[in-house]
Structure 1
Amino acid sequence: MAEDDLNTPESLLPYDEWTQDALRHVVVSALRHVAAEGLPGGHHFYITFKTAFPGVSIPDRLKAQYPDEMTIVLQHQFHSLHVDEAATSMSVGLSFSGIPTTLTIPLAAVTSFADPEVRFGLQFHVDVPEPVTTADIPAPQGDDVPARPTDQPADVVSLDAFRRRQKD
Structure 2
Amino acid sequence: MSRTIDYGNLMHKAMRGLIQEVLGEVRDHGLPGAHHFFITFDTTHADARLADWLKERYPTEMTVVMQHWYDDLEVGADGFGVTLNFGDAPEHLWVPYDAIQTFVDPSVEFGLRFETQEDESEIEDADEPASEEQPKPDAEIVSLDKFRK
The interval holding the TM-score normalised by the smaller chain is: 0.7 to 0.9
Q: Which runs of 5+ in 2 are unaligned?
A: 119-149
Report the CA distance shift for 1:27/1:93 in structure 2 as closer, same or farther (over 3 A): same
Aligned mates of 1:118, 1:73 — CA distance in 2 = 15
CA distance in 2, matches of 1:58, 1:49: 11
Q: Residues 36-55 of structure 1: CA distance to partner in whole angstroms, max 9, x if unpaired?
A: 00000000011100000011
The corresponding residue for 2:104 is 114
Which TM-score applies when normalising by structure 2?
A: 0.74
Is 2:84 aligned against 1:82?
no
Q: Tell which deviates more after alignment, 97-106 or 108-117.
A: 97-106
Name the CA distance, whole Å, in 1 between partners of 2:17 and 2:5.
20
- Residue type of the alignment partner of 1:92: V
Secondary structure (helix, strand or coil) at the match of 1:77 reads coil
Q: Which residue of 2 aligns with 1:139?
A: none
Provide the identity percentage. Answer: 38
Cα deviation, residue 90, structure 1: 0.3
Q: Secondary structure at the match of 2:14?
A: helix
- Distance verdict in 2 for CA 1:74–1:11, change over 3 Å: farther
Does the aligned pair in 2 maintain the 1:78–1:92 contact within 8 Å? yes
Query: C-alpha separation between the residues in 2 aligned to 1:11 and 1:27?
Result: 29
Q: Which amino acid aligns with 2:20?
A: V
**Matches of 2:99 and 2:93 in 1, distance apart?**
13
TM-superposed deviation, 1:127? 5.8
Q: 2:12 matched to 1:29?
A: no
Aligned mate of 2:37, from 27, 30, 45? 45
Q: CA deviation at 1:96?
A: 1.1
Aligned length: 117
